[in-house]
Amino acid sequence: MGLPFYEFSSRPFRSELLDNFIVPAARWFLRDSSSPYLLPQTSGSNWECSLAIDFLVGLAKEGVLSAELVSTISDKCIATTRWLLSQARSESEGGRSWDGVSWDTAVVCRTLSRMARDFRDGFSNQEQSQIANVVNEVVHWLVGQALRWKDDIRYTGGPPDLAQVLITLIDVANRDSDLLKRAEGANSLEVTRSAIDEAARLLIAMSETQRLPVNSGGNPIEVCYWVDAFNSSEVVEALARYVAFRRAGKGWGSVSHEKSARRSIYRCVRYLECTQSEGTWGGVADTCGTLYGYLTVLDLVGNIDHQHHVVFKALRWMCDENQSLDDGSFLHTSYVTVFYSLALLSAYRTWPLGNKPASEVYDVSLWLAPNLVSEERSIRLELEIEHEDLQHELTIVRDSLRASRLQVMSWLVGVATAMLAVLVLVLSGGLSVSATIQDSSLFWTIVGITIPVIPSVVGGYRALASKKASE
């Protein structure tokens, strides 16, 4: 069993978590020395192998493991990736998948792409080419799944399946947008639309809303969710990645759902925080997966504080000596251990309180943090939504003022240019007019007033427009 939390030393909490739980979990995946593969390969589970690779490669990148352990991780992850590659199957409607399941296929596709980039020297040129071809066909299939979801796919796959598809499509777009656009074109999607936007729109439309009572006796708070906490954590991660993708200016669809996605993220975070019970969200895999999703979303969004008691209680429950076993696994079960290990690694990386000693973590989590459903936090998150919406609208107004200013300036300059042109033509004799000015001094007085007034009007309008745009 792992070391109980109350026996942690004065080192940072995350360091104790690493040595007593995370590294042992890594060794459990590597324990079968008679096989070149990771332990989950024994059961033939594609997605378990994929998530185990993600965990191990992520841990190796932290730079805290011995050279020998990193070498073992590299060898076994590369071998398991080759096995995953061999498991891809062709689909009748075109493209490839793993077992014809959207969730599994999306997860494995990301792992293949990541391994091909991070371990380029571990694969031959032929293998690199094979991986690229398989990923290309998989993306084609996933785009088709996303675009047909509302018709026939939704009955065989739930929100988490579409969420994983969205995460993978965003991953593809970030590194090779042309690949995704080709897949969209092959699936007859109009150039003004994007499969990423379509998937985000469908996920938002699938959400359910609920008003939860608060223990303080205040007004109920509005939350949104997808089926349960585990499902919701996957969807809200996908939406958080969608918002980041859109904010980076990488989207090409004409309709963005960023605003609705942000609102769903904030309300779902409150749902996750409010529905935890005694450190859990339902079953064992549900709790581990939900904590991973919660930590990942807060890290992606950046402007939502952690509810430390929520994180600590989940970690304390997960690392209990009755289920976090001596061999490093969670109840000797591969499908739970992959979520367990990912959640622990995410806490190690992103939980700010983990940098403090265990005694201080206890104090902050159990005494200084709220233990009841907080109406105040919900109000703050709703205000954050309104603040971001107003900031967005202000940007639109400023852009509109800037465009209007340029149009008016162009018009005034055009008028001034036309008047000066007429004046030059009259003075040069190129243009004759029937009217005459009896007093020549009056003519030159008009000219003398007109020439400086026009630039002054243009300059004054420009200054006024700049002042209004900055207010």
Residue 358 lies in a domain: no
* Angstrom distance (rounded) from CA 187 to CA 170: 17
Give how many domains the chain has, as a whole number. Answer: 1
Lowest mean pLDDT among 133-147, 150-164, 384-398, 450-464: 450-464
Q: Give how far Cα 8 sits from Cα of 19, 198, 272, 343, Å.
A: 11, 48, 28, 19
Q: Which amino acid is at 151?
A: D
Q: Tell which residue, 214, 157, 253, has the closest CA to residue 371.
A: 214
Q: Average model confidence (pLDDT) for the chain?
A: 86
pLDDT number for residue 365: 84
| Digit-coded pLDDT (tens) for 337-352 | 999 999 999 999 999 9
Residue 459 lies in a domain: yes
Element holding 82 (H helix, E strand): helix 67-87
Residue 285 lies in a domain: no
Residue 132 lies in a domain: no
Residue 465 lies in a domain: yes
| Digit-coded pLDDT (tens) for 220-252 | 788 999 999 999 999 999 999 999 999 999 999
Residue 114 lies in a domain: no
* Angstrom distance (rounded) from CA 385 to CA 392: 11
Domain extent for 434: 397-470
Q: Give how far Cα 251 sits from Cα of 9, 38, 191, 299, 330, Å.
A: 48, 37, 12, 21, 40
Q: For 380-397, b where at least 16 C-beta lie within 10 A, e where not — what string?
A: ebbeeeeebeeeeeeeee
pTM of structure: 0.81
Q: Write the burial class of residue 444 (CB in 10 Å: 0-12 exposed, 13-18 middle, 19+ buried).
A: exposed
| Digit-coded pLDDT (tens) for 160-212 | 999 999 999 999 999 999 999 999 999 999 989 999 999 999 999 999 999 88
| Digit-coded pLDDT (tens) for 6-26 | 788 889 999 999 999 999 999
Residue 367 lies in a domain: no
Residue 435 lies in a domain: yes
Tokens of 300: 């992606």
